[in-house]
Amino acid sequence: MARKRSSIGEKIADLADSLTLLGLRLGAVAFVLVLGYIIYGLASGNVLRATGFSAEDRARVYDNIALACRLLNISGVVLILCAALRYYTEETLGYIFSIVGTALYFGTPWVFSAFFPESALASNQAIGSIVWAIRVFGMIIFVPGFVLVVRDVILRVTLARLKADIAKRRREYGVSSFIVGEISDEEEDKPQLRKPGIYAKCWQTSYCRDFVKQFCPAYEKRKSCWKIKSGCMCDEGLMLKAMRIKSKEAEMFERDLRYRHGAVTKGQLTAAQKRQRCRECVIYQFHQQQKYKLVSPLVLPAAVAALYYLFPWLESRFDDAVRFIDRFMSKVSFLPQAAGSMPQQSAVPDIFFWLFFIWLAILIISYSLHLVEWCIFKLQI
């Protein structure tokens, strides 16, 4: 049951790690784009001059800035929370967040007053929205920063107690390290003569120890250990049997196992526990690497065939995207617009489509390889 909980916890941790990484990337991209849009509006002076536009253009500029400010805060929340969850072990992160958040909240009004006249700050709705959005973002940064600072202080206070407890337990069990299975000098100096072929069995690899192999059921049945769920890297009973016969280290090995796992298992492992041990085994990882070597060369021809089949559809969607971008840019522009001043359709040179197609091909091939790698090494299919 403890092993099952550990497996579920590891899966949840892997999922959280993937989600925070995705949120960090998407939040950073969205935050930079929206912030760049706001900076462009301020630097061009069109936001400041919006008070002199027609009522329709002025309302459009104010609505665009209000939407950009909301998106800035939403992307900022995603970015900061994902960064805090993913890098919460970094000691300086909390202090950096706290300082930056405080500076943005209290310093933003002073910075804007230095660059814009007081009348514009009082009458221009767009500038007021920007100032408030940046101050809100400062508060968003400060809150997780403060939590991380408190956590760091608590950890520093309790660190000495933890070190003392570890030293006490080492003295209690009479060991200097809790690492099991160190390689002897003779075995480390022994040349590795095995050169396993593609998709080799476990006992054909350099990981298999000669002094254990003769007692291993996988070697006796000439099957791989991941098929029978028993082997030299996961079955402590097998290791104890070999060590009792070949050496005098079994007592120390068994004592260390009891300290780490509570007791030495004797055949009562469930199928799920055996599968979990396989996932953590270096021999099984080697087996997965062999599988990756077989599958990964197929990704390139499969991606090329898919791109060839989808070429007409991609060309049509590219033209639709160009027309959409034209309409979108006419809406988010800070410049006043006369009726019919924006083109209905842009003529884009073919070179831009081919550049997009090459970029997409590289992206598909790269992420296809990442997908194969994730399926084999993470899901361990």
Q: Which two tokens stand for residue 326?
A: 């034209």
Q: Domain map of the chain by residue range?
A: 13-173, 192-280, 296-336+343-378
**What pLDDT score was predicted for residue 74?**
92
**What pLDDT score was predicted for residue 75?**
93
Report whether pLDDT(377) > 60.
Answer: yes
Cβ–Cβ under 8 Å, residues 368 and 292: no
- Convert the pLDDT of each residue in 330-365 to its tens digit: 677 665 655 444 444 445 667 778 888 888 888 888
Report whether pLDDT(253) > 70.
Answer: no
Report whether pLDDT(177) > 60.
Answer: no
- Convert the pLDDT of each residue in 110-134 to its tens digit: 888 887 777 777 778 888 888 889 9
Distance from C-alpha of 88 to C-alpha of 93, rounded to nearest angstrom: 7
Cβ–Cβ under 8 Å, residues 71 and 34: yes
Identify the band that residue 169 occupies on the pLDDT scale cut at 50, 70 and 90.
low
**What pLDDT score was predicted for residue 164?**
65
Distance from C-alpha of 177 to C-alpha of 166, rounded to nearest angstrom: 11
b/e for 77-98, b at 16 or more Cβ within 10 A? Answer: bbbbbbbbebeeeeeebbeebb
**What pLDDT score was predicted for residue 31?**
93
Report whether pLDDT(150) > 80.
Answer: yes
Cβ–Cβ under 8 Å, residues 303 and 361: yes
**What pLDDT score was predicted for residue 232?**
72
Query: Smallest Cα–Cα separation from 2: which of 341, 252, 262?
Result: 262
To the nearest whole number, what is the mean pLDDT of the chain? 75
How much is the average pLDDT of 242-248?
60
Q: Would you put residue 243 in left (φ > 0), alpha (ψ -120 to 50) or beta?
A: alpha
**Sign of the C-alpha dihedral computed for residues 88, 93, 95 and 98 taken in this order:** negative
Identify the band that residue 256 occupies on the pLDDT scale cut at 50, 70 and 90.
low
**What pLDDT score was predicted for residue 352?**
79
Report whether pLDDT(178) > 70.
Answer: no
Q: Give the orientation angle of helix 236-246 with respect to helix 250-261, to 10 degrees.
A: 160
Distance from C-alpha of 242 to C-alpha of 249, rounded to nearest angstrom: 10
- Convert the pLDDT of each residue in 282-308 to its tens digit: 777 777 777 888 888 888 888 888 988
Spacing of C-alpha 5 from chain mean position: 23
What is residue 91's DSSP assignment?
T
Instruction: From residue 191, give the alpha-carbon distance in Å to each of 54, 183, 204, 205.
Output: 84, 14, 15, 13
Query: Smallest Cα–Cα separation from 85: which of 12, 24, 157, 153?
Result: 24
Report whether pLDDT(229) > 50.
Answer: yes
Query: Smallest Cα–Cα separation from 344: which of 329, 356, 333, 355?
Result: 329
Identify the band that residue 170 occupies on the pLDDT scale cut at 50, 70 and 90.
low
**Sign of the C-alpha dihedral computed for residues 43, 49, 50 and 53 taken in this order:** negative
